[in-house]
């Protein structure tokens, strides 16, 4: 049911999952770099370089995916904002129309009551000679 009301909710959930994975990769990258700084070797093992390259590529790919998803969500939010603005304008028009019709109806009721009161007042008053 929620998927019908918010179709992009699954994409948003997937984006948050990717951000969690990105956080884990960043933590692993930070740990690897910290270990390299602590060791302070002038020569770095090829395995370490390959691991760093793989981590940075994975982080870069995930950042690109997250950025694309965020752009899509922003476009959806902008479209939703436009739809809401249109509905608000239509609702305001309807309220104004109902107000105008109510005012006209109340004016008609007031007019008919004045006419009825005048008619009955004329019948109650004694005739002039």
Boundaries of every domain in the chain? 2-90
Residue 97 has a pLDDT of: 98
- Residues of 5-34 as b/e, b for ≥16 C-beta within 10 angstroms? eeeeeeeeeebeebeeebeebeeebeeeee
Distance CA 101, CA 111 (A): 15
Residue 101 reports pLDDT greater than 90: yes
7 vs 102: which has the higher pLDDT: 102
Residue 4 reports pLDDT greater than 70: no
The answer for residues whose C-beta is within 8 angstroms of residue 7's C-beta and 6 or more apart is: none
The residue-averaged pLDDT of 83-100 equals: 97
Cβ atoms of 53 and 33 closer than 8 Å: no
Residue 50 has a pLDDT of: 85
Residue 1 reports pLDDT greater than 60: no
Residue 7 reports pLDDT greater than 60: yes
């Amino acid at each position: 049911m929620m998927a019908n009301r918010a179709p992009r909710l699954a994409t948003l959930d997937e984006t948050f999952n990717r951000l969690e994975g990105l956080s884990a990769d960043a933590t692993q990258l930070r740990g690897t770099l910290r270990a390299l700084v602590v060791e302070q070797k002038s020569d770095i093992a090829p395995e370490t370089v390959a691991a760093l390259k793989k981590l940075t590529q994975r982080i870069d790919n995930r950042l690109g995916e997250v950025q694309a998803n965020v752009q899509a969500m922003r476009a959806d939010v902008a479209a939703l904002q436009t739809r809401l603005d249109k509905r608000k304008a239509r609702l305001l028009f309807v309220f104004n129309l109902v107000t105008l019709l109510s005012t006209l109806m109340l004016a008609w009721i007031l007019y008919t009551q004045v006419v009825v009161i005048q008619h009955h007042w004329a019948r109650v008053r004694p005739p002039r000679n």
